[in-house]
Amino acid sequence: MGTVTRIILQRLALGLLTLLVVSVVIFTAVNLLPGDFAQSILGQGATPEAVAAIRQDLGLDQHPVTRYFQWLGGAVQGDLGTSFASANFAAFAGSDANANMGTVASTIAPRFENTMFLAGVTAAIAVPLAVFLGVLAALYRETVFDRAANIFTLSSISSPEFFLAYILILLLAVLNPILPSLSNIFDGMSFSERLERTLLPALTLTLVVTAHMMRMTRAAIINLLASPYIEMARLKGINPLRVIVKHALPNALAPIINVIALNLAYLITGVVVVETVFVYPGIGQLFVDSVKLRDIPVVQACCLLFASAYILLNLTADIMSILSNPRLRHPK
């Protein structure tokens, strides 16, 4: 087995182990949330017998360890359970409590698709923009452009997402009604309409993630500009921009790939605030609604999905860094 294959398999095994530990943390934390779904659905006037009956129907009366292994076994097989909020209970409908319960997967799937669309639009704008600005900032370092870019990025990093979102709503939806302030996405919309409704939250996320990627690109390239091979390329009279793009940038890919992967993970796992502000029907908004309803299976599935996306993108960045760096491919 080759060195690269062994390293990749080790990273994958470590990722699976990390996901297993995270699943324990998720299950424990979610089940420690205050409140009870059966009590909240029946109201304050519910009798203990009615609450106990619903808890038994939903399996909430079982031991937490038993419920964890049932949930984990189902998740491994692709069954994330049944959403509590989709049930029509016998106390209200006069029928079997499990008759119309919807699966968590069917609840999450369209929301996750919307979140991935938002993340894709943001990445398509932010990644090229960040690398381009980082290269220019490294090329014209200590100039007015570099200082202005640093001030802008520091300001965007320091500002909370909801603040940037409200500023963009004020500028682009209220004072200058260019884009809609609410992102109402639904099935049957054309791509252009979907893109228009998604653009404002995508611009908000772009302001947040571009700063990190741009500053890392700038720092990685500047760190390489003092290298002997860069000095030799300059002495040959090669254009400074070509020196950076052709010689410095390929050797700075490892840290740039890492920061891009971390920010792409944020686009999936950190969209809760932005989706809530713009009422965007993504998985972040579903997560908030499910916490309010104490819909434990949906909350657990959302957390597991966030963790899986974060771990997967970090593993991808790790593997790509290894493949792009000969010193990591052939360690001594």
pLDDT in tens, 98-107: 444 568 888 8
The answer to whether residue 98 sits within a structural domain is no
- pLDDT band (50, 70, 90) for residue 38: low
The answer to whether residue 109 sits within a structural domain is no
* Domain total of the chain: 2
239 shares a domain with 313: no
**294 — alpha (psi -120 to 50), left (phi > 0) or beta?**
left
pLDDT in tens, 208-242: 888 888 888 888 888 887 788 878 877 788 887 78
Q: Distance between CA atoms of 30 and 297, rounded to whole angstroms?
A: 9
pLDDT in tens, 241-251: 788 777 777 77
Question: What is the signed CA dihedral for 243, 245, 246, 248, rounded to 10 degrees?
Answer: 70
- Asked whether the beta carbons of 85 and 298 are under 8 A apart, the reply is yes
pLDDT in tens, 145-155: 888 888 888 88
- pLDDT band (50, 70, 90) for residue 327: low
Residue 110 in this model has a pLDDT that exceeds 80: yes
149 shares a domain with 81: no
The answer to whether residue 286 sits within a structural domain is no
Predicted pLDDT of residue 39: 67
Residue 142 in this model has a pLDDT that exceeds 50: yes
Predicted pLDDT of residue 93: 45
More confident residue, 159 or 90: 159
More confident residue, 116 or 256: 116
304 shares a domain with 275: no
The answer to whether residue 212 sits within a structural domain is yes
247 shares a domain with 137: yes
pLDDT in tens, 257-313: 888 888 888 888 778 888 888 988 888 888 888 888 778 888 888 888 888 888 888
Predicted pLDDT of residue 150: 84
Q: pTM of the entire structure?
A: 0.80
The answer to whether residue 102 sits within a structural domain is no
Predicted pLDDT of residue 88: 42
The answer to whether residue 262 sits within a structural domain is yes
263 shares a domain with 149: yes
Predicted pLDDT of residue 1: 53
180 shares a domain with 67: no
313 shares a domain with 253: no
147 shares a domain with 77: no
Domain of 203? Answer: 115-281
216 shares a domain with 274: yes
| DSSP class per residue in 129-161 | HHHHHHHHHHHTTTSHHHHHHHHHHHHHHHS-H
Interval 161-185 mean pLDDT: 87
Q: What's the CATH number where 150 sits?
A: 1.10.3720.10
189 shares a domain with 61: no
300 shares a domain with 271: no
164 shares a domain with 26: no
Q: Residue 240: CB partners within 8 Å, gap ≥ 6?
A: 139, 234
The answer to whether residue 170 sits within a structural domain is yes
The answer to whether residue 213 sits within a structural domain is yes
Residue 95 in this model has a pLDDT that exceeds 60: no
Interval 181-187 mean pLDDT: 82
Predicted pLDDT of residue 43: 64
Of 281, 306, 322, the one marking the end of a domain is 281
